[in-house]
Amino acid sequence: MKHITLREPEKDKFSLKNIPPGSKFHFIGLGGIGMSALARILLQSGYKISGSDLNKNHLLEYFEKQGSEIYTGHCAENLNNPCAVIKSSAIKEDNPEFKKALENNIPVIHRAELLNALMTGFNQKSIGITGTHGKTTTTGMIATIFHKTAQQPSFAIGGEIPQLGTNSAFGRGGYFISELDESDGTIEFYSPDISIITNLELEHTDHYKDGFEQLLLTMSRFIDQSPAQAKIIINIDDPGNNKLIERSKRNKFITYSIESNDADYFAEIIETVPEGKFKVYKKTCFLGEVKLGVAGRHNISNALAAIAASLECNLQFEDISLALSGFTGMKKRFQTVGFANNARLIDDYAHHPTEIKATINTTRNIADLRGKGRVIAVFQPHKYTRFEKFWNEFLQSFDEADLVCICDIYSAEESPIQGVSSEEFSKQLNHSGSYYIKGSLDRVAEELIKEIRADDMVLTMGAGNITKLGGIIIDKVNKKA
């Protein structure tokens, strides 16, 4: 069984302490949401940035406007005397910029190493949020709370907060809030002062080839290496988390739940749609009510985690509640992108069966509350390996939708797997309203425009380029108007 195991000297080897402001960092794949978050913090804290990506997007344009050296495409000439090169697990050894850095003895730092250095390098208390589902939204909620309560936090998130217009910032306050990615094992780089674990379920099987046990061992090492005084806030509604608690050497956790009032923090749900509303208890002490700007049972759980972390940092409940009432979600997380033919188009990052089921269920509840309109689920599978691994689970995820449209698989540069296709999945899906649309997003949009009616709620779901579909539909409808 293979794992990433980090000895203490290795984990602490990269630090910003000996790198003076004004030094330049080069990012391979700067246009990615996670990489750009770290680059922005470096830029705002006094360092210089250069970077490349295969295609230009709004994130690269931001750095270009700041005077950074930005390149489209990867080539060795893009490196112009940086103090270090930053890469993610997606960058392979044959990347020309990676190869040149090694040839010229330029330090190559994994993005997780840099994030750990940022979290520990500014004398700020670190709050790290991880888990299979919900970590981006939970991190966004906490960052919003700390921003709205004038804490001036630093934060780095794998998604944009629409109200703040960014996914990261360097703040002068006392806290650094960050989403911690468990997908590739680099979660072990971190030792936050406060950790939040939303849930644990098998995912990212390209890394966790030995299944859930490998994930559990990785997460056990993550929390067991935390300092004794560190706080671990964990959702005990989740079976995977409960297995982690049993496995851990730690004997103290701060628990939260929307099901059990035995937890340290408990939410009594009043309603889940059109927005979440609930009562909050700390032990047996009633703290007050919270009304969210987002819907869904899962978001109440995310909010409770954010509330627990904020209270553990001595913020006032009334201020926390007020900040959460104005939180309207993260970009690509149940985000309304517009309307077409008087149907609401909603984009969601859901690409795992559990996420898809939760997103459709929330939409179903909203439609039922309104008493009109259909739920149309448009799903783009992400990666052949994930689709194959969770094939049967995906088949059980669409029951609450009225119509299901399956798009071609977004390969993420994976090779096809025989027998794994969207067409075959659509045939096996036991749903009277399912069909497969072959081809480009343009073609998918044309077919959907023929189908959608007033009051429908159209969900576009996936981690690939499906996020563009809502905008394409709107543009086509407007041109025909």
The string of pLDDT tens digits covering residues 81-112 is: 999 999 998 888 899 999 999 999 999 999 99
Number of domains present in the structure of the chain? 3
Catalytic residue among 135, 331, 332, 389: 135
State residue 40's pLDDT score: 97
The arithmetic mean of pLDDT across residues 44-54, rounded, is: 96
State residue 202's pLDDT score: 87
CATH number at residue 65: 3.40.50.720
Boundary-marking domain end, from 325, 347, 372: 325
pLDDT at 6 over 80: no
Catalytic residue among 120, 130, 132, 136: 136
Helix (H, G, I), strand (E, B) or coil at 130: strand
Query: Are the beta carbons of 234 and 167 closer than 8 angstroms?
Result: no
Report the C-alpha gap between 245 and 210 in whole angstroms: 20
Domain boundaries, position 419: 335-480
The string of pLDDT tens digits covering residues 426-439 is: 999 999 999 999 99
Angle 326-370-359 from CA coordinates, rounded to 5° = 60
188 is catalytic: no
The reply to whether 342 and 427 lie within a common domain is: yes
Q: Is residue 117 assigned to a domain? A: no
Report the C-alpha gap between 470 and 479 in whole angstroms: 14
179 is catalytic: yes
Q: Is residue 2 assigned to a domain? A: no
pLDDT at 359 over 70: yes
CB atoms within 10 A of CB 165: 8
State residue 8's pLDDT score: 43
Catalytic residue among 113, 179, 182, 203: 179
State residue 190's pLDDT score: 94
Q: Is residue 284 assigned to a domain? A: yes
Boundary-marking domain end, from 325, 350, 385: 325
Query: Are the beta carbons of 376 and 452 closer than 8 angstroms?
Result: yes
Distances (CA, A) of 162 to 335, 336, 372, 450, 471: 10, 12, 28, 31, 17
The reply to whether 356 and 414 lie within a common domain is: yes
Helix (H, G, I), strand (E, B) or coil at 58: helix
Q: What is the mean pLDDT of the chain?
A: 93
CATH number at residue 374: 3.90.190.20
Split at pLDDT 50, 70, 90, the class of 481 is: low
State residue 2's pLDDT score: 39
The reply to whether 306 and 378 lie within a common domain is: no
Residue (of 113, 92, 121) closest to 35 by Cα position: 113
The reply to whether 362 and 344 lie within a common domain is: yes
The arithmetic mean of pLDDT across residues 118-140, rounded, is: 96
135 is catalytic: yes
State residue 368's pLDDT score: 94
